Amino acid sequence: MTLESEKPASTKSAEKKAAKPSSKPATAAAGKTSGKKTDAEGDVLGIRISHADRLLFSDPDITKIDLARYYGVVAVRLLPFAARHPVSILRCPQGPDHQCFYQKHASDGFPDEIHQVPIEETDGDVANYLFVDDAEGLIAAVQMGTIEFHIWGSTVDRLDAADRLVFDLDPDPSVTFETVKTAAVDLRDTLDNIGLKSLAMVSGGKGIHVIVPLSKSAVWEDAKAFAKALSVKIADEDPDHYIATMSKAKRTGRIFIDWLRNERGATAVTPYSVRARKGGPVATPVSWEELNDLGVANSFRIPDILARLESGTDPWAEAKDWKQSLTKAMLKAVGAES
Ligand code: ATP
Ligand code: MN
């Protein structure tokens, strides 16, 4: 594991300036930074950013401090989904073209802005997991080389129950994006018929995540049983197009409906997370209408997202008022045992 040499940001929370993320998008969008030296330092919401000018992505150029500012701005949209959820971070201390690693446990010298919670793992051992609850936490993670954020489907306040379901549609490379879109819409309609409204997110990679926010959490046993039963049912009814088991060999020409995100400890990429892939694509919430017109899952980059925020675009706004939960009748409808 390659760890960066610089020390984490000092933690003077009390002295922090008031967060004014909306004042920054133009600068970050243009990819401008304050200095030219590679050891330039910067400051975002009171968090010191070392190697501020390190170039992380090109076309457009995105430096480390641009990334920190980006997370400072999107925090307002990202945190409603990710705050207080155990988080795994994908760190690429030298940049996304170099070695990256997932980290789910705290290590020495972690800044206070990234909080810790002891969680008992399946083997009975207790380990300190990470979570953030504000923009400073996201930025402190960027200072440590984080590019991607991945969350559990539950909060640290209620670890045993899911506050959302995620169906991760993973196409075999031979499957067109048009087909993935159709699959997502079909899944939405199926969920609708069961009584659950859902949201679409293009992953910034190849696929689409269909997300069911739950205003009343569902214990993991039910969440997993429902997601599995529904996915298996879809694959059984249309085996030419779908598969509900992880087997790569059997995926050829099909879409894997990954329901395994719906268990305790499993993660999915956070809405608005940048991906450590070429160009810095963003996992982007989209409306069902605009999904219709998209040609790929990785077309949104940092400046596009900042522009969407500037213009007030919030494709998932209506979901804030959704009141829905996983009922016994729904479990029964998909033939899930609970
Ligand atoms: P794509 O659309 O390209 O599939 P994705 O984010 O859905 O992008 P997947 O490979 O399908 O990527 O993985 C689904 C989720 O599983 C990820 O978003 C991530 O949260 C989690 N995951 C995958 N691999 C790892 C890993 N090695 N460590 C931790 N979490 C992982
Ligand atoms: Mn996926």
Question: Considering only CA atoms, which of 13, 150, 180, 7 is closest in space to residue 86?
Answer: 150
| Substitution site in 179, 203, 259, 261 for ligand 1 pocket (most atoms within 8 Å of beta carbon) | 203
Six-digit token pair at 312? 């007030």
Nearest ligand to the C-alpha of residue 205? Answer: 1
Residues 8 and 45 in one domain: yes
Structural domain containing residue 75: 1-151
Tell me the DSSP string of 163-201. Answer: EEEEEEEEE-TTS-HHHHHHHHHHHHHHHHHHT---EEE
Amino acid present at 274: V
Residues 170 and 144 in one domain: no
Beta-carbon contacts of residue 322 (< 8 Å; ≥ 6 apart): 197, 213, 215
CA of 203 to the centre of ligand 2 (A): 7
Of 93, 120, 151, the residue that ends a domain is: 151
In the block, residue with structure tokens 């994908």: 90
d(CA 315, CA 290): 9
Tens digit of pLDDT at every position of the chain (338 positions): 333 333 333 333 333 333 333 334 434 434 444 444 557 899 999 999 999 999 999 989 999 999 999 999 999 999 999 999 999 999 999 999 999 999 999 988 899 999 999 999 989 999 999 999 999 999 999 999 999 999 999 999 999 999 999 999 999 999 999 999 999 999 999 999 999 999 999 999 999 999 999 999 999 999 999 999 999 999 999 999 999 999 888 889 999 999 999 999 999 999 999 999 999 999 999 999 999 999 999 999 999 999 999 999 999 999 999 999 999 999 999 999 76
Tell me the DSSP string of 267-329. Answer: -EEPTT-B-SSTT-BB-EEE-HHHHTT-S-SS--BHHHHHHHHHTT--TTGGGGG---B--HH
Six-digit token pair at 278? 């070429």
Amino acid present at 332: K
| Substitution site in 267, 270, 286 for ligand 1 pocket (most atoms within 8 Å of beta carbon) | 267
Q: Please, which residues bridge with residue 202 across strands? A: 208, 284
CA of 150 to the centre of ligand 1 (A): 8
First vs last C-alpha separation in the chain: 41
Of 151, 177, 202, the residue that ends a domain is: 151
CA of 10 to the centre of ligand 1 (A): 31
CA of 52 to the centre of ligand 2 (A): 31
Q: Please give the pLDDT value at position 169.
A: 98
Nearest CA to ligand 1 atom 15: 268
Residues 166 and 299 in one domain: yes
d(CA 312, CA 85): 25
DSSP 258: E
Under 8 Å between Cβ of 103 and 3:
no
Nearest CA to ligand 1 atom 11: 170
CA of 26 to the centre of ligand 2 (A): 31
Domain count, the chain: 2
CA of 53 to the centre of ligand 2 (A): 31
Residues 94 and 112 in one domain: yes
Residues 40 and 79 in one domain: yes
Nearest ligand to the C-alpha of residue 277? Answer: 1
Of 151, 167, 183, the residue that ends a domain is: 151
Nearest CA to ligand 1 atom 29: 102
User: Cβ atoms within 10 A of the Cβ of 289, count?
Assistant: 9
Nearest CA to ligand 1 atom 19: 268
Residues 93 and 202 in one domain: no
Amino acid present at 217: S
CA of 190 to the centre of ligand 1 (A): 24
Residues 223 and 146 in one domain: no
DSSP 99: -
Residues 141 and 280 in one domain: no
Residues 15 and 101 in one domain: yes
At 56, is the secondary structure helix, strand, or coil? Answer: strand
255-258 and 242-243 beta bridge pairing: parallel
Q: Please give the pLDDT value at position 39.
A: 74
φ, ψ for residue 199 (rounded to 5)?
A: -120, 155
Which helix (H) or strand (E) segment is 146 a member of? strand 146-151
Residues 211 and 65 in one domain: no
**Ligand 1: which residues within 6 Å by Cβ?**
88, 102, 150, 168, 170, 203, 205-207, 267-269, 297
Residues 174 and 109 in one domain: no
DSSP 154: S
Residues 186 and 322 in one domain: yes
CATH number at residue 163: 3.90.920.10
